Every structure is written in structure tokens, then in C-alpha cells.
């Protein structure tokens, strides 16, 4: 049934598109010339260098990004310096219709045998087929279009040293799954849309304090009996960008035999996780603003906790708002138009156990407030030097969640500061 509904929706959108296109839409130059500035922004995210027609047929493109950081935890008097990630992008344009996109990430500088640090993984790896200049299909390891940062996660796309906390803990970062996605934009209005089918989450791997993130396999050896559907709408109006997105997917990928032995429901959408997200962005004359809200419901949390004892919540949410201003905006013509010095403030509110089932343990330190302020200097648009301070306020940590706590363990700080410096680049 869900396949028929998805196919009907794709056919309906395609019909709308075809009715508004002329016979020359396969000519890329004509299409790009006719787009409004907003539509051009939708068409090229800045990360996929093949999207905007930057590569000729049979051409291979190499690019990448990375970031390194220094952080000082004031309460624990602990400093940490790290090469957070280096990512290599390799793309290939087979023809005007077929292309390949991949990102390989090395995090924390290196991998050591027997050490629980560092990671090498594919962030994205998919084939893309252009139906026409406004519509395309991708298949492989893809990042769902949910939130602001998950797709546009280059370090030059966010102002703080870290990605927004809400888009780390509530929306997993960087969230990717195996699936097939259909993307497009309307010809007469600056509206983009997406719909994708992906593998579902794995409830057995979910962890206390990590939201749904630990339940994502990231393309690695997935129990694929569950599936998920995600969709988004994105629109431009003047200097504003609006987006709404949603997700509905099962969280039990085990076979019926294994599920029956555990006494839990099974099927494509068993143990469903639902997600709703909306965000708005504004930019004009050096001033920018962002706001985002996300809510996640897990109706099978009690059953998950009974089976896997991982203290899964029924509901979690996160919101944040950010204001920024480029203090060199009016002077850039006299200095260097590429220079940018952006001051920003952001407030984030999240609760990873906003509602819990009767067999879960409440942990108030997952009810968090974050206030962040800092500066981001861009000597050129693709290089960022950042400095910021984050104030964090939470509830008390529940000691019942600790098994054999160490005798020298410091008490949990409910009020804390983190001072951060970072360098980021993209090419």
C-alpha cells in the first residue's frame, strides 16, 4: 500500500512539472538562465559540486572539507585539542544524466587497533540520475533532508565551533541511511521537494542520552526488514527560506522468527518512530537569523525497554534560534569583499526524555538549555576561524543510571561553560 501511495505522489508531482516545462528543458544552459536567484540557491547546495553543472561529461571532481578544534571544559578544568574530521569528496559525471557522489570521512585523526577512538566511514555514497534539469533520483547511502545542518554540514555553513546541539543529539549528525530519494523543484515557484524511502532504525542499538542516533546503522550491515519514509518541502520568499520535513519509520529490522522469540511486533513499520521538523532562515544586508524546531515520538518505547533495557524515551524535542551579523558587511567593498567577520548568539532548548514510559528511568540532565555566543572570521568564503563560549544548564544527573561508579568521580555540574576555538575549510 505504501509503495502505491509513494508512486502516486511521485507521478502527481511529475505531472505538475511536465505541464510547466517547455520542450527544451533538457538544455542545462537555458534552464539555469531562466531560474530565479532563489531557485538557483535550491539547485546548488554548495556541497555537491556536480549539481550546478560544474563538471563536464566523463569528468571526475575531487574536493573535501575538514575541521579541527580546541575546547576547554571549565567545570572539569579539562582541555582537549582534536582534528575532528577530514572528509574527501570524490564525484564523477558519467554523462549529462548519470553521476556519482561520495564522501569518505576520517574522524579524530586516526584509527588505532584496540582503541575506542577514531572512525573511518562513508558519509554519503550514491548514484544520481537526472530525469530533467529540475528532477532527479538518487540511490545509495543518502542524508535525509531534515533540519538545516544534516545536508549542509560543511564547517563553513554553521557559525559555531560545533554543529548546533539540537542537530547533534535530537537530529543525529551526520545522519545517513541506505535508500532511494526523489528530488525536484517547481518551475514557476521557488519551491523544492523531496521524498525518500530508506532503511529503518534499530531499536536494539538505541542508547540512553543519544536520542535516535545510535539506532542508525549508517549503511553498515543493516537488518533491513524495517523501512522508513521521509519527505520535505522547502520554499523561498524574498530573503526568507522555509522548510518543513517529516519522517515515519519502523525500528525493528529483525526477522519475524527472531521477533516472535522475543515477543515483539515485526513488519516494515513495526515499533514506529515519527518525526516532525520545521525551520526558517533569513538573510539580508549582513544580518541573518535562523529558527528550528523538531519533535520525535517513539510509541513503542515501553516494548523496546522491556526487550532491550536501553531506557528509550517516548518523546524528545529540540528548538533553537540564532541571530548573527557580519560586522564587515558595509566595509567589505573598501577592504576585501571576501572578508567576513560574523558575530552570533544562539539559544538552544532540548529534552531527550521529555516523556518516558513507566519502565524507564528519568534523567533530568537530558533536559538542557544552551546559550552560545561567538565570532566566526572568514578570510575567504571557504575558510573559517571560529571562537565561542557555550553556557550549559541542565537538571541533575540520575545516579541510578550508574553501575559501579568510580570512587573519584566528580559530581555532575548542572551549570557549565565550554570555551572553543576551531578552524574549518571546504574546497
Q: Which residue has the higher pLDDT, 99 or 38?
A: 99
pLDDT beyond 60 at 317: yes
Position 37 scores a pLDDT of 41
Position 267 scores a pLDDT of 86
pLDDT beyond 60 at 337: yes
Q: Which residue has the higher pLDDT, 359 or 1?
A: 359
- Scanning the structure block, which residue is given the C-alpha cell 540532565? 365
DSSP3 helix / strand / coil % (the chain, rounded to 5): 15, 45, 40
Q: What's the rounded mean pLDDT across residues 77-81?
A: 95
- Residues contacting 26, CB < 8 A, separation 6+: 96, 132, 133
* CA gap 160, 163 in Å, rounded: 7
Q: Dihedrals φ, ψ of 408, to 5°?
A: -100, 10
pLDDT beyond 70 at 51: no
Q: What's the rounded mean pLDDT across residues 380-397?
A: 95
Q: What's the rounded mean pLDDT across residues 370-388?
A: 96
Residue 109 near residue 69 (C-beta atoms within 8 A): no
Position 44 scores a pLDDT of 45
Report the chain's mean pLDDT, rounded to a whole number. Answer: 86
Q: Enter the C-alpha cell of residue 147.
A: 533540519
pLDDT beyond 50 at 148: yes
Q: 26-30, 123-127, 305-309, 390-394: which range is least confident on average?
A: 26-30
Residue 282 near residue 289 (C-beta atoms within 8 A): yes
Residue 112: pLDDT band (50, 70, 90) is confident
> Is the torsion defined by CA of 157, 161, 166, 168 positive or negative?
positive
Residue 25: pLDDT band (50, 70, 90) is very low
Q: What's the rounded mean pLDDT across residues 185-209?
A: 93
Position 24 scores a pLDDT of 35
pLDDT beyond 50 at 22: no
Q: 34-38, 122-126, 331-335: which range is least confident on average?
A: 34-38
Q: Which residue has the higher pLDDT, 116 or 223?
A: 223
Amino acid at each position: 500500500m505504501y509503495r502505491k501511495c509513494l508512486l502516486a505522489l511521485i507521478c502527481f508531482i511529475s505531472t505538475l512539472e511536465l505541464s510547466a516545462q517547455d520542450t527544451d528543458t533538457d538544455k542545462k544552459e537555458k534552464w539555469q538562465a531562466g531560474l530565479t536567484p532563489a531557485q538557483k540557491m535550491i539547485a546548488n547546495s554548495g556541497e555537491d559540486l556536480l549539481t550546478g553543472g560544474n563538471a563536464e561529461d566523463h569528468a571526475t571532481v575531487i574536493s573535501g572539507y575538514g575541521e579541527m578544534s580546541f575546547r576547554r571544559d571549565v567545570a572539569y578544568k579539562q582541555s582537549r585539542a582534536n582534528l575532528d574530521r577530514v572528509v574527501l569528496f570524490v564525484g564523477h559525471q558519467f554523462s549529462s544524466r548519470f553521476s556519482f557522489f561520495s564522501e569518505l570521512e576520517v574522524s579524530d585523526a586516526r584509527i588505532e587497533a584496540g582503541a575506542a577512538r577514531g572512525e573511518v566511514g562513508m558519509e554519503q555514497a550514491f548514484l544520481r540520475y537526472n530525469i530533467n534539469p529540475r528532477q532527479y533520483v538518487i540511490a545509495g547511502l543518502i542524508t535525509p533532508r531534515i533540519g538545516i545542518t544534516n545536508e549542509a554540514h560543511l564547517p563553513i555553513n554553521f557559525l559555531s565551533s560545533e554543529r548546533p546541539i539540537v542537530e547533534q543529539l535530537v537530529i543525529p549528525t551526520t545522519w545517513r541511511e541506505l535508500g532511494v530519494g526523489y528530488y525536484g523543484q517547481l518551475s514557476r515557484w521557488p519551491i523544492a521537494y523531496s521524498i525518500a524511502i530508506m532503511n529503518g532504525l534499530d531499536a536494539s542499538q538505541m542508547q540512553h542520552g543519544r536520542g535516535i542516533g545510535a539506532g542508525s546503522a549508517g549503511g553498515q550491515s543493516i537488518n533491513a526488514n524495517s523501512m522508513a519514509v521521509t519527505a520535505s518541502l522547502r520554499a523561498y520568499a524574498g530573503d526568507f527560506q522555509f522548510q518543513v520535513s517529516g519522517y515515519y519509520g519502523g525500528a525493528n529490522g529483525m526477522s519475524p522468527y527472531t521477533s516472535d522469540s522475543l515477543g515483539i511486533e515485526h513488519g516494515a513499520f513495526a515499533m514506529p518512530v515519527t518525526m516532525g521538523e520545521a525551520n526558517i532562515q533569513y538573510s539580508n544586508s549582513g544580518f541573518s537569523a535562523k529558527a528550528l524546531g523538531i519533535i520525535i515520538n517513539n510509541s513503542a518505547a515501553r516494548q523496546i525497554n522491556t526487550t532491550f533495557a536501553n531506557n528509550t524515551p517516548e518523546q524528545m524535542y529540540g528548538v533553537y534560534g540564532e541571530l548573527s551579523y557580519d560586522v564587515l558587511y558595509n566595509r567589505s567593498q573598501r577592504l576585501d569583499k571576501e572578508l567576513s567577520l560574523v558575530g552570533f548568539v544562539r539559544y538552544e532548548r532540548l529534552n531527550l526524555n521529555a516523556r518516558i514510559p513507566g519502565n524507564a528511568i528519568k534523567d533530568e540532565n537530558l533536559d538542557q538549555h544552551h546559550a552560545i555566543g561567538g565570532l566566526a572570521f572568514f578570510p575567504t568564503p571557504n575558510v573559517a576561524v571560529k571562537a565561542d563560549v557555550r553556557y550549559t544548564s541542565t537538571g541533575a544527573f540520575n545516579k541510578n543510571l550508574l553501575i559501579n561508579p568510580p570512587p573519584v568521580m566528580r559530581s555532575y555540574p548542572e551549570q557549565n561553560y565550554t570555551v572553543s576555538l576551531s578552524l574549518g575549510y571546504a574546497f
